[in-house]
Amino acid sequence: MSTVVAAQDTYPLFAIPEDHEALRAAVRAVAEAKIAPYAAEVDEDARYPQEAHDALVASDFFAPHIPEEYDGVGADALATCIVIEEVARVCASSSLIPAVNKLGSMPIIVAGSEDLKRRYLTPLGQGKAAISYGLSEREAGSDTASMKCRATRDGDDWILHGQKSWITNAGVSEYYTVLAVTDPDGRRGANVSAFVVEKSDPGFTFGEKERKLGIKGSPTRELHFDHVRIPGDRIVGAEGDGLKIALRTLDHTRVTIGAQAVGIAQGALDFAIGYIKDRRQFGKAIAEFQGIQFMIADMAMSLEAARQMVYVAAAKSERSDADLSFFGAAAKCYASDVAMQITTDAVQLLGGAGYTRDFPVERMMRDAKITQIYEGTNQVQRIVMARQLLK
């Protein structure tokens, strides 16, 4: 008797669940109708995409990862990635709204008290407030443990003093998860704690908006803390666990940057394919030339590999698998490298037209670049992967 058993009898066929594909269709409809029409203007004017913000709130895609017990919709990691991917397909700046809401809230989710979760995740789930993440400083980028921002105990409270750099959606968000040194003489890496800072806290101000190459619709500013008093019940997790919490957070949220990169690349490929089918040279559409066909085949092949890597990492994030650190870093690194290559090739396919602001691919190329840099440069991602392999 044959020992071969039909695949469907032993395990489900590898496929995205139907409800996730239905989610994709719903997000794409919102993105194309309510976000895409403003994407070029948002980039040109370097203004916050309020239209996207409002559309994401109205459709429950603003912070889809928030659990139902905190008035969220409880989307799993893969569903959240699909939301970010589909929004990024039309506007990378807008995709940072759900992405940064996850980044800023993840420390609270993984380590916060129940009181903190109810206090800060609930308005986020309701779409009433956004949250950002404060880790990097001017001289503490990849070397986060060298941060200078200080939190000094004062009775039951903490006094926060210093600054944070490169903070996404700063000034828009109501809440900020901020990492600060709480024991200057303590062991490096074990002397940092995490706190929730509110926009209204006295002494908390913002620097000027950074003038950036891409994602111009997402404000990036410094956070300035001038003896900001933080109540003791706003510490996230245990004192000294800040960097552990930060690394756990990044393991999960690097996957979302991979999803953003995939979305940007998909948008560029879609537009380029439409263009080469219409553009005619030498009496025929340039899509008929083999050299052009080879380009789009390579673009699509790399993009699909990146997408599958991101989706696998998302599944591992949902389960908090032991190898998430490797897969999260790999997904972010590979997908962002692919996005940079695909958007550059899309500009090439449009020729001189691709180099103008009359078409979206130059914006997509500029937007793609940051995915290789934030939440850890791709050089740092390779260090993370190597360390996991060498353990």
Q: Provide the annotated active-site residues.
A: 375
Q: How many other C-beta atoms lie within 10 A of the C-beta of residue 59?
A: 18
Q: Are 103 and 53 within 8 A, CB to CB?
A: no
Amino acid at 75: A
Q: Are 46 and 216 in contact (CB under 8 A)?
A: yes
From the number of C-beta atoms within 10 Å of its C-beta (0-12, 13-18, 19+), residue 216 rates as buried
Handedness of CA 186, 192, 193, 195 (dihedral sign): positive
Rounded-to-integer distance, Cα 354 and Cα 207, Å: 34
Cα separation, 8 vs 313, whole angstroms: 24
Nearest one of 369, 373, 374, 360 to 341, comparing CA atoms: 369
145-157 CB burial, b ≥16 within 10 A, e <16: eebebbbeeeeee
Q: Is 281 exposed, middle or buried (0-12, 13-18, 19+ CB in 10 A)?
A: exposed
